[in-house]
């Protein structure tokens, strides 16, 4: 058991490896009435081709299988996990992202009982061809709903423009065609590969004790043999695939996503660099920037406008999103402003504003049990101690940001995705 502490935040958590192989990151928080637990695996939509040390070759699986597996794990032969949680009063959920799947719950009572449900249902899969066929219909409807969602399509159209072959460009839920190829045997194969306890992490924050967690884990979890996983990735070109992509859907005002394709390194470096890129989002077009005020005053953007940076294994990109009567003009203005600042240098006052904004965002996450549990899981899967995330924001320097700006905010490695109102004539691509 290792104790991790932060003088900056006056907080600590413990990190330990359970006898089952499960990594645990536990942060009891005084004064909180609720507890938040997450059990996750670094397995998401981008893990489409892999092998273990016991396999002779790589296995390529259908798109969307990680998300499909997340849905199916809540069911067993007798009942589903949500019915069990209803008896403890916990609020449960799960999500699949590009590079992780997490199962979670929050509770104000019956913590140990709810934790036992979490550890039990995630470690006892039950798949049959009949239940898989049923789920294919359910998730197929979900995919069709996403296909008609402007917010969803504008983002994945952008990722498809930025990336040539990286699976981050593909819909997390897959397609109706890809999920039709999923079988019970394939689900078990993916489960046995990525849901090995040595590959997973449990994070808990809030009102609980370390002893409670260990008592439940000792009762529920058995030892599992370690599995070494190797993911296959095609080499992603440095360039973007397309500079502009559009689609027509039922929207009143054109929607846009503007993306800058970062130069991906290790998952750890990508996550740390994304914190700096969040500051650059503020410097270039944050709501305290001159460009934001100019675009807003000209009615080129509205209150839906925001920017974000996303990072994980093999990918790093920064995006600006919103609505505009002239998305191409917004794109041109943002690219021009990034180039101008790269040439003239970041204004020191704007740097301090951006740094304080992002630092404050990370510090505020430590005021909620959900925020702490989420940062713990991010750190666990990125090999970054949780407090190093906030330290990365606190220790940012102007020269470091200037270097990041020149490296990853190049207009030549950017793209624009637009959703036009159905029936509106598309502007000629310039």
Return d(Cα 388, Cα 359) in angstroms, integer: 12
The conformation of residue 124, written as its DSSP 8-state character, comes to S
Which residues, listed in sequence order, are joined to residue 316 by a DSSP beta bridge?
A: 311
Interacting residues of 98 by C-beta distance below 8 A, sequence separation 6+:
44, 45, 46, 168, 172, 312, 315
Phi-psi map region of 214: left, alpha, beta (phi>0 left; psi -120 to 50 alpha): alpha
Taken as a whole, the chain contains a residue count of 430
Geometric angle at alpha carbon 118, from 381 and 207, rounded to 5°: 80
Angstrom distance (rounded) from CA 89 to CA 107: 7
Number of H helices, E strands in the chain: 15, 15
CA 273 to chain centre: 15
Largest CA distance in the chain: 65
Closest listed residue to residue 420, CA positions, set 330, 299, 333, 324: 324
Buried b (16+ CB within 10 A) or exposed e, 101-129: bbbbbbbeeebbbbbbbbbbbbbebebee
Residue 91: name the closest of 66, 114, 68, 74 by CA: 114
Interstrand relation of 23-28 and 201-206 (parallel, antiparallel or unpaired): parallel
Contact yes or no for 31/11 (Cβ under 8 A): no
- 235, 135 contact by CB (below 8 A): no
Closest CA to 91 of 38, 41, 142, 130: 38
Q: Which sequence positions are flagged as catalytic? A: 70
């Amino acid at each position: 058991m290792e104790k991790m502490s932060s003088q900056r935040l006056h907080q600590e958590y413990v990190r330990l490896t359970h006898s089952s192989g499960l990594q645990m990151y536990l942060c009891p928080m005084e004064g909180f009435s609720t507890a938040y637990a997450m059990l996750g695996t670094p397995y998401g939509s981008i893990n489409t081709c892999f092998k273990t040390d016991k396999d002779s070759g790589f296995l390529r699986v259908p798109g969307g299988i990680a998300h499909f597996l997340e849905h199916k794990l809540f069911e067993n032969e007798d009942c589903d996990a949500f019915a069990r949680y209803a008896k403890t009063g916990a609020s449960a959920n799960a999500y699949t992202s590009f590079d992780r799947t997490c199962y979670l719950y929050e509770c104000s009572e019956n913590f140990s009982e709810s934790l036992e449900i979490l550890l039990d249902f995630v470690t006892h899969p039950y798949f049959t061809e009949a239940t898989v066929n049923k789920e294919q219909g359910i998730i197929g409807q979900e995919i069709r709903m996403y296909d008609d969602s402007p917010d969803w399509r504008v983002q994945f159209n952008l990722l498809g423009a930025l990336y040539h072959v990286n699976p981050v460009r593909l819909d997390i839920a897959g397609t109706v065609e890809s999920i039709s190829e999923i079988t019970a045997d394939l689900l078990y194969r993916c489960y046995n590969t990525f849901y090995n306890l040595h590959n997973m992490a449990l994070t808990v924050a809030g009102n609980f004790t370390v002893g409670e967690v260990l008592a439940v884990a000792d009762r529920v979890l058995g030892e599992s043999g370690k599995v070494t996983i190797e993911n296959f990735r095609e080499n992603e070109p440095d360039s973007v695939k397309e500079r502009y992509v559009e689609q027509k859907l039922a929207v009143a005002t054109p929607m846009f996503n503007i993306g800058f394709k970062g130069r991906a390194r290790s998952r750890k470096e990508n996550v740390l660099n994304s914190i700096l890129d969040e500051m650059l989002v503020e410097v270039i077009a944050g709501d305290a920037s001159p460009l934001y005020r100019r675009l807003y005053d000209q009615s080129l953007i509205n209150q839906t406008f925001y920017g974000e940076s996303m990072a994980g294994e093999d990918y790093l990109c920064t995006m600006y999103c919103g609505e505009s009567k002239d998305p191409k003009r917004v794109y041109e203005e943002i690219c021009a402003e990034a180039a101008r600042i790269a040439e003239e240098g970041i204004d020191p006052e704007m740097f301090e504003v951006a740094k304080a904004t992002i630092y404050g965002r990370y510090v505020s996450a430590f005021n909620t049990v959900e925020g702490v549990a989420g940062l713990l899981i991010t750190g666990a899967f990125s090999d970054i101690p949780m407090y190093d995330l906030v330290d990365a924001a606190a220790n940012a320097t102007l020269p470091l940001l200037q270097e990041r700006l020149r490296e990853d905010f190049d207009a030549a490695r950017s793209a624009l995705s637009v959703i036009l109102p159905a029936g509106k004539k598309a502007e000629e691509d310039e």
